[in-house]
Amino acid sequence: MKKIVVAFGTRPEAIKMAPVVRALRNASSGFEAVVVVTAQHRQMLDQVLDVLEVGADYDLDLMVANQTLAGFTSRSIVSLTDCITGIDPDCVLVHGDTSTAFTAALAAFYNQVPVGHVEAGLRTGNLMSPWPEEANRKLIGALAQHHFAPTQRAADNLLREGVDSQNILVTGNTVVDSLLWVTDELLTRPSSLQAMNDRFDFLDAQSQLVLITNHRRENFGDGMQAVLDGILQLTKDWPEVQFVFPTHLNPQARGPAEATLGSSKNVFLIEPVEYLEFVYLMKRSTLIITDSGGVQEEAPSLNIPVLVTRNETERPEAVEAGTATLVGTDRALLVQEANRVLERAERTAGDHLVNPYGDGQAADRILAALRKTYGTL
């Protein structure tokens, strides 16, 4: 059997690669899937591996306290190169824009193993935003042989960079696959639903809910503080609305959140939540305020509008489709747009959001392409 290494290290990667792993591990796929994790984010990665039923074959356990990008990158290149050498796969699949994705692609290149890039082609055009993710995307793109683009716009970005059209496949985004699997499979189980209700028993079913995430490096400092000040204003303007904020483990994100919002009675600053819990919170939300890329892709499938607290986004499809609004770190604009959503008493059928990121069949398309390429059909 042909061997495919699936390499990742963070929670978002695990969420988005889980459907691909399940497809490859299906008895009829014709492949042996080997999952290699770097544990770039140890705790947050572990939260989702069990929930999404993805077991790691190799856990390199590379995370260290207060790690730097250079330190992690150097450890990762050495460990992944040794690991891939030992496995001797036919292809290495990486996802998106993390340091793990870049170093896994480079390690595969050093071993002369073809690289498949899932979620290929996302670009802001600004090498410093998001940082270092934009650089990682472009570097992986230079090393990859298979480019699995989530949208036609992403494919067009690759074509402009000179990638052969025969090496690009528009698949949709695998995050939609994961989201629909969780909502259709896990959250329909009475035991899971009861566990979620118990976990978030502080939520009032009659209240509107605003879900918040905030962690981007490029926003650290004044930008992040402006966002938090805007949220603080909203909590005062809307005392009957509940604001749920799973705070990131990075102290540069968590510290300002606790200092600014910690005394607000209608704000619930909670520990990072597991993926199943986050989907549950998204489903209950009226609005999501986030700097996360994945949430921009997920929320439209749940009919939830998103305010994106970034000055640039590599996911303009959501903005153009009207499912997301770019507010950056402009406090006044954030408050204005949040008020616009919250002032609507209820969303009508006419407000239904169409997800521009796919139909939940992305992993099947990737599997079909790999089978065609590696002769397992």
Active site residues: 97, 119, 133, 215, 217, 248
C-alpha–C-alpha distance, residues 115 and 62, integer Å: 22
CA 269 from centroid of its chain's CA atoms? 21
Q: Which residue has the tokens 């390499």?
A: 7
Give the number of residues written for the chain: 377
Q: Are 7 and 14 in contact (CB under 8 A)?
A: no
Q: What phi and psi values does residue 248 have, to the nearest 5 degrees?
A: -70, 155
Chain Cα centroid distance, residue 197: 24
Q: At what angle do helices 190-199 and 275-284 cross, to 10 degrees?
A: 80
Classify the C-alpha dihedral 83-39-302-120 as positive or negative. negative
CA separation for the pair 306, 352 (Å, rounded): 13
Residue 361 CA to residue 119 CA, distance in Å, equals 14
Contact 47, 278 (CB under 8 A): no
Residue 150 CA to its chain's centroid (Å):
13
